[in-house]
Homo-oligomer: A and B are copies of this chain.
Amino acid sequence: MSPLQDHFVHVQCGDCPIRHRAVCARCETDELMRLEQIKYYRSFQAGQTIIWSGDRMEFVGSVVSGIATLTQTMEDGRRQMVGLLLPSDFVGRPGRATAAFDVTATTDLVMCCFRKKPFEEMMLSTPHIAQRLLEMTLDELDAAREWMLLLGRKTAREKIASLIAIIARRDAALQRKRTPVALSVDLPLTREEMADYLGLTLETVSRQISALKRDGVISLEGNRRVMIADIDRLMEEAGDDSDGGILV
């Protein structure tokens, strides 16, 4: 279909931007060489669905660039985002035949893919991969549990403040900047996607963003860029007891 569907040039793992955070992070040179042989790149356009829930999973892989979401939809159309995948995040579930959630590219996106079978075999022979995957999965589980607190107990205002803080933290982590957190953050999501992340309607998202702006906690530069006026205030509004401690 689109030119973006075509496979990308093959990048050497050593030069890969996510080399030290992805599932391959702990691999030695020789292990990397074996991965190199079974990997391939795939690109997706913004809006394109990567995997449908219920589909047979042919591959697993890592997000190299761009952003993807994991979502669940009820028959009547209510939708909840259950994962936000940034570069280095892993997609797929070794040991399961079909996908449990929809995976969608929300921006143009490049994935480093492995056919599922060879990857599973390699996991058995390469403890470094399984170890790293376990570590990443445990981290995701912790993140999911924080997210559950947000969904179950936070007010709309706290949800918005939390989302901004989460995104600020995550992309500070990605850029390996240990700076307390950027003063301005790009929201990679539409209002509707934020609503799906937060368990709100898009109208409520819009209203609460306006309210935080009105109250001087943030300011906007266009619709997508948020300037964080007062980071401590934002953390306070987010209602997290874990103080503004940096990162993941």
Interface residues on A, range: 35 or more
Instruction: Give chain B residues whose Cβ lies under 8 Å from the Cβ of A95.
Output: 135, 138
Known A-B contacts A74-B241, A75-B241; the reply to A141 vs B137 at CB < 8 A is: yes
Cα(A130)–Cα(B26), bound, Å: 16
How far does the Cβ of A189 sit from chain B's closest Cβ, in whole Å? 15
Instruction: Give chain B residues whose Cβ lies under 8 Å from the Cβ of A135.
Output: 95
How far does the Cβ of A154 sit from chain B's closest Cβ, in whole Å? 8
Query: Which of B75, B100, B131, B141 has a CB less than 8 Å from the CB of A130?
Result: B131
Known A-B contacts A80-B152, A153-B80; the reply to A138 vs B137 at CB < 8 A is: yes
How far does the Cβ of A114 sit from chain B's closest Cβ, in whole Å? 16
Instruction: Give chain B residues whose Cβ lies under 8 Å from the Cβ of A101.
Output: 145
Instruction: Give chain B residues whose Cβ lies under 8 Å from the Cβ of A198.
Output: 152
> Which A74-97 residues have C-beta < 8 A from chain B?
74-75, 78-80, 82-83, 93-96
> Which A22-78 residues have C-beta < 8 A from chain B?
70, 72, 74-75, 78
Query: Which of B74, B93, B133, B145 has a CB less than 8 Å from the CB of A153?
Result: B74
5 examples of A-B residue contacts, CB within 8 angstroms = A70-B145, A74-B239, A137-B138, A148-B151, A152-B198
